[in-house]
Amino acid sequence: MSTQPEGRYHKFEVRRVDGRDQPGGDREGAEYMVLDLTHCPFARAAGLLYADKMAVEYPKAAAEFRAMIEGLPPFPLKPHQQRVVEEKAELDERIAKLDTFTRTSTFGRLDERERTCLLEQANVMMRYAKILGTRIANFNA
């Protein structure tokens, strides 16, 4: 549970370095918002949406902004996410071993029903690995 107050609250003082937000400037009284792109997934999503919205008028700035956000390191994984990554790695290793086995003469000497079951098992394992991969890809989306 977070100890931060709920809702919007004052925690940053933002000023333009060019002074345009000072009295008499063309941006006097402007409100600014700070987004923590390093720790907040919502901020990254908001930043990417902002880049999309500004792309028509400011394509170069939008591309630079998007590249900056996309170039940030992924967020640290939560424990349950780390377990999914480890499970996928173990599953990929098992799939590789089964694939290697299916190319051996030992596999060829197995009963046809057993070979069919092992090939079906490999297909299910690959589908499962794909699902885990999709979940992992969505961790920082």
Q: Are residues 60 and 113 in the same domain?
A: no
pTM of the prediction?
A: 0.52
Residues 28 and 87 reside in one and the same domain: no
Range of the domain at 114: 79-137
- Specify the pLDDT at position 1: 53
21 and 65: one domain? Answer: yes
| 4-14 pLDDT, tens digit each | 777 778 888 88
10-residue stretch averages of pLDDT, the chain, 141 residues long: 73 89 93 85 87 94 93 84 92 95 96 98 96 85 60
Q: Where are the alpha helices (DSSP H) in the chain?
A: 41-54, 59-70, 79-102, 105-108, 112-137
Total domains, the chain:
2
Mean pLDDT (the chain, rounded): 90
Q: Are residues 35 and 94 in the same domain?
A: no
Residue where a domain stops, chosen among 26, 42, 73: 73
Pair (85, 67) in one structural domain? no
